[in-house]
Amino acid sequence: MSRIKYLSRVNLFQVLDTPDLQEIEDGIPIEPVPKGTVVYSPHTKKPMLYLVKSGTVRLYSVTAEGKELTLDVLGTGHIFGDIGSLVSDHNVHAIALEESVICTMDYEQFKFLLREKPELGIRFIEIMSARIKEVEELLEHMAYSSVRKRLLFLLYKLSTKFAENSGTEAEGAGQTEWVKLKVELTHQELASMTGNIRETVTETLNQLMAEGILKKNGSRKALWIHTERLKKALVE
């Protein structure tokens, strides 16, 4: 896939046409990032904006007790980072959940683009406003919800970002719709992302499978989610 095609998939750049993308493509470095690599942390010296070309990145903060609190999981096309006075992800770490490819842009370069392409500024505000809303929802669930509700909320957010495709499966006289998650997460990773222990998450996942909300054909197979049942369980 060409660099232009990749950049067009980044949510920030979707407001630009092909000639505009051609103007900026050479100034945006692209590099592969192995799974488990810490891409960004509070100790990163230079303010940078990171663009996920492919793969999956988890954003998390560390509490005073040393526990990790997941703030977001980002896939292809999403952005994150610290770009000076525009937005600062203080106390936020970013780690690659799988082999990924990340583009980078420094603060001065981003400010130049905003001056040259004002529509990017509007798009950036929209993206960050949506991110703040998601984080607020997550923190509310972490503070007040049960283990089950935390996990259901996380799975719902993952299904909105990483649904690979949908299918149908006969069930009785009707048909039910499922979505397959492109991102693969272990029970330990799900536990870290919801502030639980692995054994509790495993037990809860088994309950959700018994209820027909989830299905998985083998320990290393993709997770499928019945979105309508999940939404119903989330509001109960």
Taking only the tens place, the pLDDT of each residue in 61-76 is 887 888 777 778 898 8
d(CA 13, CA 77): 9
Question: pLDDT tens digit string along 21-47?
Answer: 888 877 788 889 999 999 988 887 778
Please indicate, yes or no, whether residues 117 and 17 belong to a single structural domain of this protein.
yes
Q: 139 and 150 share a domain?
A: no
164 and 114 within one domain? no
Could you say which of 89, 119, 143 is where a domain stops? 143
Spatial strand order in the sheet of 100-106? 30-33, 100-106, 48-54, 79-82
Q: What is the mean pLDDT of residues 214-227?
A: 81
What's residue 188's pLDDT? 84
Where in the sequence is the domain holding 104, given as residue range(s)? 3-143
Q: What is the mean pLDDT of residues 121-130?
A: 87
Question: Is the whole model's pTM more than 0.85, yes or no?
Answer: no
Over the chain, what is the mean pLDDT?
Answer: 82
Res. 221: pLDDT tops 80: no
CATH number, domain with residue 38: 2.60.120.10
User: Reduced to 3 DSSP states, what percent helix, strand and coil does the chain have, rounded to the nearest 5?
Assistant: 45, 25, 30
Q: DSSP characters for 173-220?
A: TEEEEEEEESS---HHHHHHHHT--HHHHHHHHHHHHHTTSEE-SSTT
- 127, 150: one domain: no
Q: Do residues 114 and 38 share a domain?
A: yes
The predicted pLDDT at position 7 comes to 79
Confidence of residue 2 (pLDDT cuts 50, 70, 90): low
- Number of domains present in the structure of the chain: 2
C-alpha distances (whole Å) from 217 to each of 75, 161, 229 are 24, 22, 19
Give the amino acid at 87: V
Question: Whole-angstrom Cα distance, residue 125 to residue 190?
Answer: 29
65 with 135, same domain: the answer is yes
Taking residues 217-234, what's their average pLDDT? 84
Q: Clarify whether residues 163 and 226 are in a common domain.
A: yes
Same domain for 162 and 122: no
**9 and 112 assigned to the same domain:** yes
Confidence of residue 110 (pLDDT cuts 50, 70, 90): confident
In this structure, are 155 and 82 located in the same domain?
no
CATH of the domain at 184: 1.10.10.10
Q: Are residues 27 and 123 located together in one domain of the fold?
A: yes
Query: Does residue 178 share a domain with residue 216?
Result: yes
pLDDT tens digit string along 145-201? 888 998 999 899 888 888 875 544 434 334 458 888 888 788 888 887 887 888 999
pLDDT of residue 218: 65
